[in-house]
Chain A
């Protein structure tokens, strides 16, 4: 075979490999672009907290009797108009309305606002759910013994949790508590004790925490479980994190993750006005579990393959111009391999609007392979008498630049 024919064949082969890599690269890029926030669509800063109450409430409605209050109160017209059995049953506290968790507060409302919402004239809050006659709010200590966390799906940001939830107070708590879990869907809420000053539940459910993958594969995640009492405001009930009784169970582990910390805090918050004079604050207990991915696993599953690709690609630098076919084969197929490896990496995590550490590493790999291929193409562009010079320069320059590049992408 003559030299021009060999040259042509190598060029065709390189172009085919490049085209394949470019196609796969474009596919990856399109996946990344899909993750960008759409114009005009606001990005929720605390998505789980605001998006899930409906589910959580619906679940709570299904699981516990007499807590249809929040949903029903939000749609008074629909309730009044759609249920013939309740016509004429407008008396305060009558019929099924006794089951509403905030009915005692509603009954004590001193008047109606122009929009028809019950209103309180006295006390700090005008909201119909306020209870100015309740007296001093009850200070409730919230404890959580976490017994199991499983099925952590980093792609969906969901995990299954089982825990004991304890509420203790020195003075009696208000009746008909309506506990909701804003960041999750509770499958079982089993009361083990229900006394005015002591309540204990065993809870099992699926919860949601958006992952932060900027440092992937050396990422740490925070799993959040939130509990809110959404029928009794802070004028009746104040939640406090119980340090002594918020713990992990013995030998607690999360498969594949290293347990780092447990954080609990209480929060008082109001909601964006759902109706006129919706000014009541509600207490929320927030428990955060800090976990970190095992570093050894991250190194062997992400960094080692990437460096192997780079090193194999660099070996071509020592192939002389006489063996051009071998030299070409050292670069282009590695590029295709790198793209496929990158593709397999992003399959295990959700699309993100930012570059992960693994993405940056792969950019380094692509750049290294690109330099490698450019050095090979130079042989086709320069005269044959300069091949030795190009060979010597490339053999020093490409590995040096690659080393600098890989150090930079690993550190940044």
Chain B
């Protein structure tokens, strides 16, 4: 039996797949080949169903790049995420598919990221004077989207 890193012991095992729904915010073809076909494409997603706002930017090479570039902005898509290790050994959930577009996450990719926030108004004397956003996944968000609990 191999020893597990401390930070990983309480989390799920690598390879577990989660499915969810998202909206395409936008796609951007970053590089094209000589024929103009997408080589690298960034897709920005807004994940639905998690409490708060969850924004994800994923960069992918061919054939994912060409497939995802055809997705229109604001379209609803199904997403698959899989737990795996990053290049520094930490556990992360990585996007592996958007509908029929399969993505092979590159551990050396430093562009892809996700940002969570759950905002509530800041009230003073019953008047909203600002807002406060939790940027670490809340318990409600973890319950709705278990892959955030890591």
Q: Which residues of A contact B (CB under 8 A)?
A: 241, 243, 246-248, 250-251, 258-267, 286, 296
- Nearest-CB distance from B125 to chain A (Å)? 12
**Binary CB contact string for chain B from 108 to 149 against chain A (1 if under 8 A, 0 otherwise):** 001001010101001010000111111110000000000000
Contact of B133 among A251, A258, A261, A286 (CB under 8 A): A261
**Quick check: A247 and B115 within 8 Å, CB to CB?**
yes
Q: Roughly how many angstroms separate A247 CA and B119 CA in the complex, as a whole number?
A: 11
Would A261 and B113 be within 8 Å (CB), given that A266-B130, A296-B6 are in contact? no
Q: Roughly how many angstroms separate A178 CA and B124 CA in the complex, as a whole number?
A: 27
**Quick check: B133 and A266 within 8 Å, CB to CB?**
no
- Nearest-CB distance from A58 to chain B (Å)? 29
**Quick check: A266 and B129 within 8 Å, CB to CB?**
yes
**Quick check: A251 and B113 within 8 Å, CB to CB?**
yes
Minimal Cβ-Cβ distance residue in B for A261: B134
- Could you tell me which residues of chain B, from 1 to 34, have a CB within 8 Å of some CB in chain A? 6
8 sampled A-B residue pairs with Cβ under 8 A: A248-B115, A250-B113, A251-B110, A260-B134, A260-B135, A263-B130, A263-B132, A265-B131
Interface residues on B, range: 10 to 19
Q: Roughly how many angstroms separate A246 CA and B122 CA in the complex, as a whole number?
A: 14
**Quick check: A263 and B113 within 8 Å, CB to CB?**
no
Q: A247-B115, A263-B122 are in contact. List 15 more A-B contacts (CB 8 A).
A: A241-B131, A248-B135, A250-B57, A250-B113, A251-B110, A259-B135, A259-B136, A260-B136, A261-B136, A262-B135, A263-B133, A265-B124, A265-B129, A265-B131, A266-B129
Q: Roughly how many angstroms separate A258 CA and B135 CA in the complex, as a whole number?
A: 10
Complex A-B, nearest 7 residue pairs according to Cβ-Cβ distance, in ascending order: A265-B130, A263-B132, A241-B130, A250-B113, A243-B131, A265-B129, A251-B113
Q: Roughly how many angstroms separate A241 CA and B134 CA in the complex, as a whole number?
A: 16
- Nearest-CB distance from B88 to chain A (Å)? 12
Residues of A within 8 A of B136 (CB): 258-261
Among B6, B117, B135, B136, max chain A CB count under 10 A is at: B135
Minimal Cβ-Cβ distance residue in A for B133: A262
- Nearest-CB distance from A322 to chain B (Å)? 44
Minimal Cβ-Cβ distance residue in A for B111: A250
**Quick check: B131 and A264 within 8 Å, CB to CB?**
yes
Minimal Cβ-Cβ distance residue in A for B122: A265
Residues of A within 8 A of B113 (CB): 250-251
**Quick check: B117 and A262 within 8 Å, CB to CB?**
yes
Residues of B within 8 A of A286 (CB): 130
Q: Roughly how many angstroms separate A105 CA and B135 CA in the complex, as a whole number?
A: 42
Q: Roughly how many angstroms separate A264 CA and B120 CA in the complex, as a whole number?
A: 11
Residues of B within 8 A of A262 (CB): 117, 132-133, 135
Q: Roughly how many angstroms separate A267 CA and B129 CA in the complex, as a whole number?
A: 7
- Nearest-CB distance from A139 to chain B (Å)? 14
Residues of A within 8 A of B130 (CB): 241, 263-266, 286
Residues of B within 8 A of A251 (CB): 110, 113
Would A263 and B129 be within 8 Å (CB), given that A247-B115, A296-B6 are in contact? no
**Quick check: B135 and A243 within 8 Å, CB to CB?**
no
Residues of A within 8 A of B134 (CB): 260-261
Q: Roughly how many angstroms separate A343 CA and B104 CA in the complex, as a whole number?
A: 52
**Binary CB contact string for chain B from 67 to 93 against chain A (1 if under 8 A, 0 otherwise):** 000000000000000000000000000
Q: Roughly how many angstroms separate A291 CA and B21 CA in the complex, as a whole number?
A: 31
Residues of B within 8 A of A259 (CB): 135-136
Q: Roughly how many angstroms separate A250 CA and B113 CA in the complex, as a whole number?
A: 7
Q: Roughly how many angstroms separate A251 CA and B59 CA in the complex, as a whole number?
A: 14
Minimal Cβ-Cβ distance residue in A for B6: A296
- Nearest-CB distance from A142 to chain B (Å)? 10
- Nearest-CB distance from A239 to chain B (Å)? 10
Q: Roughly how many angstroms separate A260 CA and B122 CA in the complex, as a whole number?
A: 16
Q: Roughly how many angstroms separate A241 CA and B121 CA in the complex, as a whole number?
A: 11
Q: Roughly how many angstroms separate A246 CA and B133 CA in the complex, as a whole number?
A: 10
**Quick check: A250 and B133 within 8 Å, CB to CB?**
no
**Quick check: A261 and B135 within 8 Å, CB to CB?**
yes
**Quick check: A250 and B131 within 8 Å, CB to CB?**
no
Q: Roughly how many angstroms separate A344 CA and B6 CA in the complex, as a whole number?
A: 27
Residues of B within 8 A of A296 (CB): 6
- Nearest-CB distance from A241 to chain B (Å)? 4
